[in-house]
Every structure is written in structure tokens, then in C-alpha cells.
Amino acid sequence: MNQQEIARKKRVMHVGIWLILICVCVILYSLHTGSIRLSPYEVLRTLVGLGSEDDSLVLFEYRLPRIVITILAGMGLGISGAILQGLYRNSLADPGVLGLHAGAAFGLVVFVSFFRSLEGMISLVLPLFTFAGAVLVAVLIVLLAYDRHKGVLPIRLILVGIALAAGFSAITLFLSLRLDEGTYAFAARWLAGNVWGREWANVLALLPWIVLLVPYTWLQSKVLDALMLGDEVATGIGAPVQRKRFLLMGTAVALASVSVSMAGGVGFIGLAAPHLARRLVGPLHQYMLPIAGMIGVVILVAADTIGRSIFQPNAIPAGVVVAAVGAPYFLYLLAKTK
């Protein structure tokens, strides 16, 4: 192990520790936000099981499920964006911009038309539907953006994504018009990125996907590194390019769609998190992925908390807060890339 390697490891450790600290602070602050004010001390005391009965009810029944969902979804979106950017060597790739959210929304509306309810255990099936919708969009994107000679063309990928997003939103709107008003309002708020999951059942729907797919992605870091260098290099190293790419694309789509199934159509996290991560620890996925995940957590939890607390009595969907910050960042990147 050479000097450089050690220096980098040290840097990653530093960044990681700071990010974990920030995460913990944001989560604690979020846990403390709500109609009943619990001081940070009370939050901590309740978390270790020493709080009053009511405090535990507030924390474990009302606040924690929602926060766990934002944590998982933030992580999922951040890592999904990192995979997409790696796969397509395209720094502008983001699950929202690519239309995956619109596909997931399509799946959601189909789900609602079938089951007419989003309550309790039935919500466990919901991620499957959003996943199917997003897969549909992903397949269309790849088909339409693929060029026989040049592979998937980066800018065309984005263009096709934009158009598919518009198209699927139109179909979704069309379908949701046939639903009753309440469901329509729900779908509209969901599209704006409103974290609606409030129950442990919702957490349960999300958890297995994240727990399985995030470590899988991390184990594939080397493959992603190789793919970043180009298909020829990747083949040279011995990675079965097409199969790996297929699997990783599926992973990215799955992470994004299950995340938005519970957290609503929040865009731009998948764009910003990997960028910031690359800035902080360099392009190696082994280091960059966990950092991107943590940044995703910080952004989404912070956005949800801000949306809920600053604009009282009206809560602004987290997606709006993220877009207000994320879109300018996207434009900045767009202006900078050649």
C-alpha cells in the first residue's frame, strides 16, 4: 500500500466520520421537530428507553417511522444516482431527470386503481408496482437511446428521459382522473415529492430492498470503476460487461423506484449526492458510494424537516425543497460540462 493510498483512506475516514456526525445531528433535529416539542435530551433519553410513555409514543409511533423512511429513501436515491452516473459516464444522470420517477408514478396509479387503498400491509406490495413502472421506462430509455455504433448516447439518454417523463406523467394524469378526488389529490402530492409513509408497515416495505441492494452495489464497486473507464477497459479486466451493466441498471432502477414509492417523487438527490461525494473522496466507487448514500440521507431528511417546520402551518413537500436547491445545482453542472 503506497503513501497515496493511505492518504486517500485517511481522507475517506475523515469525511465519513463527519458525515455520520452530520447525519446524526440532522436526524436528531428531525426527531425533535413536531407539534410536541421534545428537547434533544428527551429524544435521547426516550431512544434508549427511559422516556415517558407519551414520549415513546410520539417518537416510536409518529416520528421514527417517517424519519426511517426518509433515511432509507435518501440513501436509495443517492446510490441509485451514483450507479446511473457510473454506468453511463454521464454526470447529468438522475433517476428523476431520466423519467424513472414518472414510471414509478405510473406504477403507483395502477396500484391504486387495483387496490383502492394504501393502508397497512397491502403497502408492502406497492414497491413492486413502482418498480415495474420504472423498469418499463428504463427499458424504453435504453431502447430509444441506444445507438448500434456508439452504445448508449449520454445526452440522448437525458433527452429521451425528459420526453418519457412528460409522456408517462400525461398517462398517469389520465388514469388518475378516473379515480376519485381524494386519490387524485394524493397522487398529485406524491408527484410533488411528499413523504407520505408514516407507519412501520411502510418502513417494512422499503427496508428489505435497501438492505439487500445497497451492499450488493457496494460489492460491485470495482465493476463500476471499470465501466467508468469504458467498455473496452472493463472487458480487458475481465468483467462480463453486458451482464454486469444489466444487473446494475436493474439495481439502480429498483433503488430509485422503491425509494420514491414511499417518499414521493423527489428529484435531484440522485444527481447531487454522487457529485458531492466524488468531490469529497474522488471517483473510486468503493469510497464514493457510501459517502453518496450518506449525503442522500442528509439532503432528504433535512429537506423533509425544513418543509415541515419552517413553513408551518403548511407543510411543503420535501421534493419542492430539494428541487429549489437541486435544480440550480444541475444547471451549474450543465453549464460547466463540455
Q: Which of residues 207-246 bind other proteins (CB under 8 A)?
A: none
Please calculate the CA angle 195-197-200 and round it to the nearest 5 degrees: 150
Q: How far apart are CA 319 and CA 338, in angstroms?
A: 28
Q: Give the up-direction half-sphere exposure of residue 238: CA atoms within 13 A in the CB hemisphere.
A: 0
Q: Is 178 in the site for other proteins (CB under 8 A)?
A: yes
Q: Is 153 in the site for other proteins (CB under 8 A)?
A: yes
3-class SS of residue 249 = helix
User: DSSP code of 315?
Assistant: P
Residues 6+ apart with CB under 8 A from 71: 27, 297, 300, 301
Q: Is 203 in the site for other proteins (CB under 8 A)?
A: no
**Among residues 196 and 218, whose Cβ is nearest to other proteins?**
196
Site residues for other proteins, window 263-302 (CB under 8 A)? 267, 280
Q: How far is the CB of 328 from other proteins (least distance, A)?
A: 7
Among 71, 87, 164, 295, binds other proteins (CB under 8 A): 164
Q: How far apart are CA 327 and CA 323, in angstroms?
A: 5
Q: How far apart are CA 162 and CA 141, in angstroms?
A: 10
Q: How many residues bind other proteins (CB under 8 A)?
A: 71
Dihedral sign (CA 49, 52, 54, 58) = negative
Stretch that binds other proteins, among 37-45, 82-90, 213-221, 235-243 (CB under 8 A): 37-45
Binding mask 84-123 for other proteins (x = CB under 8 A): --------x----x---------------------xx---
Stretch that binds other proteins, among 35-43, 69-77, 122-130, 287-295 (CB under 8 A): 35-43
Nearest residue to 30 via CA among 72, 57, 64, 76: 64
Q: Is 50 in the site for other proteins (CB under 8 A)?
A: no
Q: Is 136 in the site for other proteins (CB under 8 A)?
A: no
Nearest residue to 296 via CA among 48, 56, 125, 83: 83
Please calculate the CA angle 225-148-270 and round it to the nearest 5 degrees: 40
Q: Is 58 in the site for other proteins (CB under 8 A)?
A: yes
**Among residues 69 and 316, whose Cβ is nearest to other proteins?**
316
Among 62, 115, 200, 218, binds other proteins (CB under 8 A): 62
Stretch that binds other proteins, among 166-174, 202-210, 212-220, 221-229 (CB under 8 A): 166-174
Chain-centre distance for alpha carbon 222? 22
Stretch that binds other proteins, among 70-78, 227-235, 236-244, 308-316 (CB under 8 A): 308-316
Q: Is 142 in the site for other proteins (CB under 8 A)?
A: no
